Structures are given as structure tokens and as C-alpha cells.
């Protein structure tokens, strides 16, 4: 039968076990993964399976690296998200976490835009580091994303987004993400993107400040091509600051909504 | 007139979108509005007339991200 071992199509005996494949292709392997899931060496793969054999701690060659990075992906998921282009407007608490999640998924291209620089007050929730203080956020983010998965193309714009440049910068995205901080900016992004690019879905967020319950943060369909994440009431205000857990929950609702849209699934499962 | 706002039927006296947002006591700079499945630009709020049984989605954003 034919199956894939570390992304190479090979012909093996139909009763081969993972132990047999390891002996043939990578005797030092101590992680055996079939179709994204780790298995014991007694496991017998089926024709067409994707087998990845990994030696822990080994630095892979560049050609092996992407295969290994996506070894835990469910088959078919990586191939589809790899073709996708996602826009992210604002890379603060929401946008930086969404970008990290989409990079770990191996989304093909991210277009990120923000005019701001990394400040100490950002580090309570945003995906930056002390040694990046003062850097433009999109530059720091591109650096961090490259360290996670260098096969994701990151297009960075250090720019203040306006009614005029939003439709131009994000004209070609498959899915758009609103990840601003200010309410007026959120409304502006939704209006400007959906009135100019009405056939592409937009995932926005509203209401994730404070330390209220996690489960009040939800994803709902708020318009024809608009998905809205958040509890829709918890505004950032004195006494109700933005904190890593709820901002992260909202960001990952948004990232999962993007993933479901890219895979052709209804984000709400309806 | 009767409108469907965020899935709920509602009797309003407003005749334009701008009047409706005032009637709903919303901050126009923090809302996005979809009228019969199409986004309305905020510059058009004052000149967008409402009609009986129009369906609106009115999203009121709060700050934070």
C-alpha cells in the first residue's frame, strides 16, 4: 500500500506497523504520529495515512521543518489554511494573540496593520516582550511570528487605519479581523470594510474587559457577513481593566471563528 | 412604524436612520448598522430613510482589545 512518511509518498507492505516504518525510515524516531495523532509503535497505518516520524531534540533540516511543524494538524486542515490570507486590523491584546494562533495553524498569509509601538502597559495582555519596548507593534509581531513558524508570510503595515486605506490594504483577504481597542475605531472598521468588501466575512470583538465570567464571552452572527465576539457590555474603564485571560478568550474565539470560516464551516455550528 | 431591530419587532417614531439612533439613545460614533443585510456608512445615516418592516442589525461597540 501507499502512504506518506514525513510527506514522502512511499510503498510499504500492507501489514506494516509503525515499528516497521521506523526501522525503515528513521530508526532514531521517538515520536510517531499518524494523521496528526500520536500512536504506539504497534499501530498499523492504513493506505493514504500521513505518518510523521520525529526524533525529539533533533534540529530538522529546513525542508523537514514545515512538515514537522504541522505534524499535529488534522489532515486537510493545514492544506486549506495554508492557501488562506487573513487581515488583522490592530495588533494589541486581541490582534497579537489572534496572529499567534493563526501562525501556529500555519495560515498562509497574514496582513497586519497598527500604528502603535510596544509600551510597558501592553505587556499585561499582549504577545510582546520587555526587549521589544518602543518597537512598532507590527514589526515586533512579525519577528515573534517568524520565530514560531517562518513559513507564514506576514505583511506588516505601520499605519493608522482610516476609512480610506482600510478597503485598499485588506481588499484581497479571505477573512478580515477587527482587533482594535477603541469603540469608534471598531465601528469605523466594520463600516469601512463591509461597505467596500461586502462578500468577505469580518470577525469583530466587543466587550472583554475585567475579570467577569469566562462563559459570557460568546461568538454570534451580528450581520450578513459579520461575526461578533465578546460579552458586548464589559467596556475597558477605570476599575475594569483589560486583562490577559478574558482578552485571550475573546481573541481565541475570533481565531477559531476565522478557522471555521476558512474551512467552510458555519462558525456557530448551525 | 414597525421595524425589526436585532431580531425583535419594535414600534418607532423615527423616519431616518439618524433619528432612530437618537431614539435608541445610541452613540452614533460607536455603532455599525446593517439595513436589510447591507452595511450603511455613517455619513449616510441622516439621509437613509426607514420603511415599514425594515430589518436592522444595530451593533453597539464598547472599548477594549
Q: Do B63 and A222 touch (CB under 8 A)?
A: no
Cα separation of A87 and A157, whole Å?
11
- A→B contacts (Cβ < 8 Å), by residue, are 90, 92-95, 179-184, 186-187, 190-192, 194-195, 198, 204-209, 222-224, 226, 228, 230, 232-237, 242, 247
Confidence of residue A68 (pLDDT cuts 50, 70, 90): confident
Per-residue pLDDT, averaged over A19-47, amounts to: 94
Say how far apart CA B51 and CA A17 lie, in whole Å.
69
Q: Where are the domains of chain B?
A: 2-60
For A187, which of B29, B34, B64 is closest by C-beta distance? B29
- Residue intervals of chain A classified under CATH 3.10.20.30 are 2-75
What's the topology of domain A78-262? Rossmann fold (3.40.50)
Indicate the range of A36-40, A58-62, A148-152 predicted with least confidence.
A58-62
pLDDT at A73: 82
Listed in sequence order, the residues at least 6 apart from A41 whose beta carbon sits closer than 8 Å to its beta carbon are: A17, A18, A19, A22, A32
- Statement: B2-60 belongs to CATH 3.10.20.30: yes
The predicted model gives A19-36 an average pLDDT of 93
What is the CATH code for A2-75? 3.10.20.30
C-alpha grid cell, residue A53 = 516520524
Q: What pairs with residue A227 in β-bridges?
A: A203, A221
What was the pLDDT predicted at A201?
Answer: 98
CATH 3.40.50.720 location in chain A: 78-262
**B62–A183 C-beta distance less than 8 A:** yes
C-alpha distances in Å from residue A4, one per residue of A53, A67, A68, B32: 11, 11, 13, 49
DSSP per residue over B1-65, as a string? Answer: -EEEETTEEEE----BHHHHHHHTT--GGGEEEEETTEEE-GGGTTT-B--TT-EEEEEE-----
Residue A64's pLDDT band (cuts 50, 70, 90): confident
Contact check, Cβ <8 Å, A207/B32: no
Look at residue A20 in the predicted model and tell me its pLDDT. Answer: 96
* Residue that is written with C-alpha cell 483589560 in the block: A242
ipTM of the complex: 0.95
| pLDDT higher than threshold 90 for residue A79 | no
Is the whole model's pTM more than 0.95, yes or no?
no
Block mean pLDDT (10 aa), chain B, length 65: 96 97 96 96 96 97 97
Amino acid at each position: 500500500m501507499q502512504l506518506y512518511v514525513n510527506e514522502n509518498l512511499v510503498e510499504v507492505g500492507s501489514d506494516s506497523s509503525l515499528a516497521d516504518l521506523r526501522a525503515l525510515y528513521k530508526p532514531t524516531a521517538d515520536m510517531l504520529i499518524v494523521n496528526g495523532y500520536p500512536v504506539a509503535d504497534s499501530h498499523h497505518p492504513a493506505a493514504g495515512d500521513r505518518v510523521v516520524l520525529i526524533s525529539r531534540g533533533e534540529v530538522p533540516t529546513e525542508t523537514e521543518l514545515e512538515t514537522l511543524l504541522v505534524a499535529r494538524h488534522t489532515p486537510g486542515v493545514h492544506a486549506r489554511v495554508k492557501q488562506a490570507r487573513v487581515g488583522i486590523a490592530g495588533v494589541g491584546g486581541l490582534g497579537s494573540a489572534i496572529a499567534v494562533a493563526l501562525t501556529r495553524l500555519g495560515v498562509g498569509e497574514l496582513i497586519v496593520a497598527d500604528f502603535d509601538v510596544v509600551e510597558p502597559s501592553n505587556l499585561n495582555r499582549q504577545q510582546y516582550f520587555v526587549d521589544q519596548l518602543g518597537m512598532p507593534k507590527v514589526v515586533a509581531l512579525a519577528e515573534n511570528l517568524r520565530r514560531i513558524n517562518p513559513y507564514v508570510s506576514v505583511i506588516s503595515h505601520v499605519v493608522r487605519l482610516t476609512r480610506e486605506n482600510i478597503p485598499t490594504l485588506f481588499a484581497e483577504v479571505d477573512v478580515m479581523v477587527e482587533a482594535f481597542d477603541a469603540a469608534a475605531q471598531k465601528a469605523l472598521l466594520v463600516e469601512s470594510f463591509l461597505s467596500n468588501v461586502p462578500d468577505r466575512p469580518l470577525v469583530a470583538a466587543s466587550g472583554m474587559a475585567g475579570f467577569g465570567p469566562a462563559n459570557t464571552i460568546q461568538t454570534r452572527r451580528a450581520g450578513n457577513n459579520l461575526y461578533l465576539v465578546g460579552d458586548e457590555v464589559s467596556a475597558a474603564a477605570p476599575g475594569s481593566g483589560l486583562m490577559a485571560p478574558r482578552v485571550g478568550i475573546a481573541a481565541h474565539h475570533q481565531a477559531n471563528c476565522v478557522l471555521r470560516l476558512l474551512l467552510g464551516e458555519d462558525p456557530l455550528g448551525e | 412604524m414597525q421595524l425589526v431591530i436585532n431580531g425583535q419587532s419594535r414600534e418607532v417614531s423615527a423616519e431616518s436612520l439618524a433619528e432612530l439612533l437618537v431614539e435608541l439613545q445610541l452613540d452614533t460614533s460607536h455603532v455599525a448598522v446593517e439595513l436589510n443585510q447591507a452595511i450603511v456608512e455613517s455619513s449616510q445615516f441622516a439621509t437613509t430613510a426607514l420603511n415599514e418592516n425594515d430589518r436592522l442589525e444595530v451593533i453597539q461597540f464598547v472599548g477594549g482589545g
